Structure 1
């Protein structure tokens, strides 16, 4: 009876122990995830960009004078040939009238000289002198007429007025900027790209020219524009270890994109990854050291997110650090899903909850 009681008590304790153990569950950790690229699931990275005019020119008069009128305002759309500003023309009109009178006189004298030469009543030298005086008068008249035309500042192409630097009744000198004009066929967007991305891109001929780039301006977030690479500044910013890349975005008259407007630039980097390297760029926050490990004893790990909403640790080999991203040389495969935020609080087999909107 005593033995039976002990046995029964032990079984009860064991079952109770199991029940207690089974009732202890790891708290669900809220995390964000990061999808590694595949051939059919390209990886995109977002960068901050700044819009600026593709062709921005300062316009100036070719002659000096007092500004009589400025016919435009900042932000106004203009067409090629539109008169944007006008100088006081009176002094130039006087010169034109004077040169025209001289031209008429010398032309009449030259015509009489030709008639006299035909009748052999005028020497060849006298005729040549009359002809030269006529040609000089003609050149002077053409020059005066051209200077008169220069009293009007016209738009050299279709565009949008950027800024106005002067006012009516102000005297200006030739070449002194009066206003600026934006060409409206394209907008340039400048982006800081990490050196790692450009280093990979340069391994292939014209590879960076084939990047798939999308741009959304902060003022019009729902409108997505397709952009094309335009130029790359080869001088690196030492503080950010990045280069300025410029992309061209078609101008849309329905959207008033202004100089300095912020933009989000999304670049598909999978073509670079798959053509030249099997390494992956992942957020730095996704890489952690195992609890209790010392530097050099264990390899860093990332947490792989599984279909059953649990996580498992995966040792990785690190490559180069670039801004908030780090290169993974070994340990990850195409299409892996890893934890990018909350990775430092996980254990193997723990169930996690994805942060809303971060799938």
Structure 2
């Protein structure tokens, strides 16, 4: 019996084609992001959606800065001399006017005592001369000489007292005093720094912003900042702005002030700063994942009666995970947030998650 190879080959080819068509149909029906809506109908894209609700949004600048003391001074003497007394403890709080360091003033004290005695004699002489002048026993010129001598001694006493004050180093403001560099018995001069004094409540924060924001920043802007080592956000307020742009960095220098009641912050710390430029209430804000782009611009998909429709939008303030929509959609619209790549203009959708 003769075998018909042509018929066998034809049957094999037909069987392979049938297997391929069935397999391809099974693969398409099991693809994620698509579900059959019925015979002869378009496939529905599987999506997640969110309802647009009005909310507030802030436009911020992120930058770095340095923390500074509210007031800071290097304590030094106005005159040279030997230290005879140190009246502060390192790292302690002091009040304005507290005596911190005393320099030997024995010679000045002796000179003051001598001048005081001379003044007493001059006062008695002036008194007698005045009485004699009233009786016309002496001339006016003789009395003026006695009065001038008294006034001269008064001036000398004031000068000596001023020199004695220069032998005392006093706190110019309330603050915390640092580590001292001298001991009792040390000889110091005006170039010797005895210690530093800092007022650290409140504190200042210096930072800079790019020059393009110069017409948006103003005194009163609120900042928030963090520092290394503390898992806490601190709040401050801008109170001064440099009236020029730095020509080297093209930035605008600003200074804010912040409370430091618990003395948690220290001058010199590195700060990560957020500056709030403006806050918009009742803004239309959507997740950034809901925004897509094409040759016409940026767009979102809005759900209406189970179908997705493109809406061209104009964006505003952008944040890490959200963005403001200035024009294109309204509060209350339902937009696609996930599964956007499977969505077609006017095509049906199947919602699996709604926020």
TM-score category (smaller protein)? 0.5 to 0.7
Asked if the contact 1:216/1:225 (under 8 Å) is kept, the reply is yes
Asked if the contact 2:67/2:268 (under 8 Å) is kept, the reply is yes
The alignment status of 1:228 with 2:203, answered yes or no, reads no
The alignment status of 1:161 with 2:154, answered yes or no, reads no
Separation in structure 2 between the aligned mates of residue 221 and residue 13 of structure 1, nearest angstrom: 61
Q: Which runs of 5+ in 2 are unaligned?
A: 1-7, 34-53, 304-309, 317-323, 332-338, 344-355
Task: Describe how 1:204-215 pairs up with structure 2 within 5 A.
Answer: 208-215=218-225
Task: Describe how 1:210-359 pairs up with structure 2 within 5 A.
Answer: 210-222=220-232, 224-236=233-245, 241-252=250-261, 254-271=262-279, 348-349=341-342
Aligned equivalent of 2:65: 49
Cα displacement (A) at 1:9: 7.1
Cα displacement (A) at 1:267: 2.3
Asked if the contact 2:206/2:256 (under 8 Å) is kept, the reply is yes
Tell me: CA distance 1:289–1:150, structure 2 relative to 1, closer, same or farther (3 Å): same
The alignment status of 1:186 with 2:202, answered yes or no, reads yes
Tell me: CA distance 1:93–1:305, structure 2 relative to 1, closer, same or farther (3 Å): farther
Asked if the contact 2:202/2:258 (under 8 Å) is kept, the reply is yes
Cα displacement (A) at 1:138: 1.4
Asked if the contact 1:52/1:187 (under 8 Å) is kept, the reply is yes
Asked if the contact 1:99/1:144 (under 8 Å) is kept, the reply is no
Cα displacement (A) at 1:6: 9.1
What does the per-residue CA deviation read over 1:163-208, in whole Å, with 9 as the maximum and x for residues that have no partner?
Answer: 65655412313x865443223442111122122333444xxxxxx2
What does the per-residue CA deviation read over 1:211-247, in whole Å, with 9 as the maximum and x for residues that have no partner?
Answer: 232233334332x433111222355456754332211
Aligned equivalent of 1:141: 157
Asked if the contact 2:301/2:311 (under 8 Å) is kept, the reply is no
Provide the secondary structure at the position in 1 that maps to 2:197.
strand
Q: Which runs of 5+ in 1 are unaligned?
A: 27-37, 202-207, 291-297, 308-312, 320-327, 336-345, 351-359
Provide the secondary structure at the position in 2 that maps to 1:265.
strand
Aligned equivalent of 1:97: 113
Larger strand share, 1 or 2:
2
Cα displacement (A) at 1:137: 0.8
Provide the secondary structure at the position in 2 that maps to 1:54.
strand
Tell me: CA distance 1:233–1:210, structure 2 relative to 1, closer, same or farther (3 Å): closer
Separation in structure 1 between the aligned mates of residue 155 and residue 89 of structure 2, nearest angstrom: 37
Q: 2:92 is matched with which residue: 70, 73, 76?
A: 76
Cα displacement (A) at 1:112: 2.3
Provide the secondary structure at the position in 1 that maps to 2:136.
coil
Tell me: CA distance 1:44–1:97, structure 2 relative to 1, closer, same or farther (3 Å): same
Aligned equivalent of 2:3: none
Cα displacement (A) at 1:331: 9.1
Tell me: CA distance 1:227–1:142, structure 2 relative to 1, closer, same or farther (3 Å): same
Separation in structure 2 between the aligned mates of residue 4 and residue 247 of structure 1, nearest angstrom: 86
Aligned equivalent of 1:88: 104
Aligned equivalent of 1:20: 27
The alignment status of 1:121 with 2:137, answered yes or no, reads yes
Separation in structure 2 between the aligned mates of residue 83 and residue 306 of structure 1, nearest angstrom: 74
Greater C-alpha Rg: 2
Tell me: CA distance 1:172–1:20, structure 2 relative to 1, closer, same or farther (3 Å): same
Separation in structure 2 between the aligned mates of residue 240 and residue 226 of structure 1, nearest angstrom: 26
What does the per-residue CA deviation read over 1:240-266, in whole Å, with 9 as the maximum and x for residues that have no partner?
Answer: 5433221111231x2242221122322
**TM-score normalised to structure 2 length:** 0.64
Separation in structure 2 between the aligned mates of residue 305 and residue 238 of structure 1, nearest angstrom: 46
Aligned equivalent of 2:44: none
